[in-house]
Structure 1
Amino acid sequence: MTVETGPADAAGTSEPADLLAQLNAHRGELPRKLGIELLEATPERVVGRMPVEGNRQPYGLLHGGASVALAETVGSIAAMLNAGPGRAAVGLDINATHHRALTSGTVTAVATRIHAGRSAAMFDIRITDEQGRPVCTSRLTCLLRDQPPAGGTIPGRG
């Protein structure tokens, strides 16, 4: 996959709205099926939202796996933005603690950078309901590697 970047700013990065549109267009099959939409994307913080409807388990509650997929989506995108040119982020470890059951509405995930070095990046991910109440807390660690997988490029990094 090749993603073109928009006009560069003084730091040489593409404009945020342009990058966000590209990330949403290339977010992958699972995030599309789950209805995940990216709202904000910088190396320090990525925000995404997902509907509860369509992502429920047999008891009618938000599926814990859907929450983890949302957390991994926003965290992995943040890690990609931290990887740098010609590099890729690969998930290494994720954990999640579920706090509240939901049957409807939307949830919002905020991935905040804890650490980003040459070989690894870690993110704290907080998922909340529409009232700002905690639904799930997660932490994601990604390995940062050379050579994007399958000849792809990292959005915003060329």
Structure 2
Amino acid sequence: MTQPTPSMDEILATFGSGTLVERMGIEFVEISAARVVGTMPVEGNTQVAGFLHGGASCVLAETLGSVGALLHVWPGGLALGTDINATHHRSVRSGTVTGVATAVALGRTLTSHEVVISDEEGRRLCTARITNYVRAAQP
């Protein structure tokens, strides 16, 4: 039986203070197993030349894909990232980026999400794919 999707507040409460999500300034806009949308500021997440750090894009992608995987096995399930890859298409120096994680596969043991990160003008900055190992809660 499918469990009801938790509220955004319930999901956000699972992260707690002091997590990387908080440090990176990631904010959730929409959450479901099939689609997770979040934003992240460029400021504070740049590399030495002043561009958005590629690792910051990967953090955003992994966060969004992992939340989608977690919701797939909610409540009480487990989701652990096993693979992430990213292609960086263009750079940005300021503003806010938006990531959209779309489920490619939601299986019994693995999930895959494609994550597209765009700038404020809607230009694609990065395309990533994350695979998570998932385990439903034990009865």
Q: Same fold per TM (> 0.5)?
A: yes
Amino acid at match of 1:72: E
TM-score, length-scaled by structure 1: 0.79
Q: Is the 8 A contact 1:109 1:127 kept in 2?
A: yes
Q: Which residue of 1 aligns with 2:65?
A: 75
Deviation at 1:27, TM superposition (A): 3.1
1:13 and 2:1 equivalent?
no
Q: Which residue of 2 aligns with 1:7?
A: none
Runs of at least 5 residues in structure 2 that lack an aligned partner in the other structure: none
Q: Which residue of 2 aligns with 1:88?
A: 78
Runs of at least 5 residues in structure 1 that lack an aligned partner in the other structure: 1-10, 149-158
Q: Output aligned runs, 1:3-82, within 5 Å.
A: 12-14=3-5, 19-27=7-15, 29-82=19-72
1:103 aligns to what SS in structure 2? coil
Distance in 1 (CA, whole Å) between partners of 2:112 and 2:38 is 17
Q: Which residue of 2 aligns with 1:143?
A: 133
Distance in 1 (CA, whole Å) between partners of 2:74 and 2:14 is 18
Distance in 2 (CA, whole Å) between partners of 1:83 and 1:92 is 16
Q: Output aligned runs, 1:122-137, within 5 Å.
A: 122-137=112-127
Q: Which residue of 1 aligns with 2:100?
A: 110
Give the fraction of aligned pairs with identical amino acids, expressed as a percent: 48
TM-superposition CA deviations, 1:76-126 (whole Å, max 9, x none): 000001124432111010000001111000000000000011110000100
Displaced runs of 4 or more, over 6 A:
none
Q: Is the 8 A contact 2:3 2:75 kept in 1?
A: no
Q: Is the 8 A contact 1:97 1:137 kept in 2?
A: yes
Paired residues in the alignment total 135
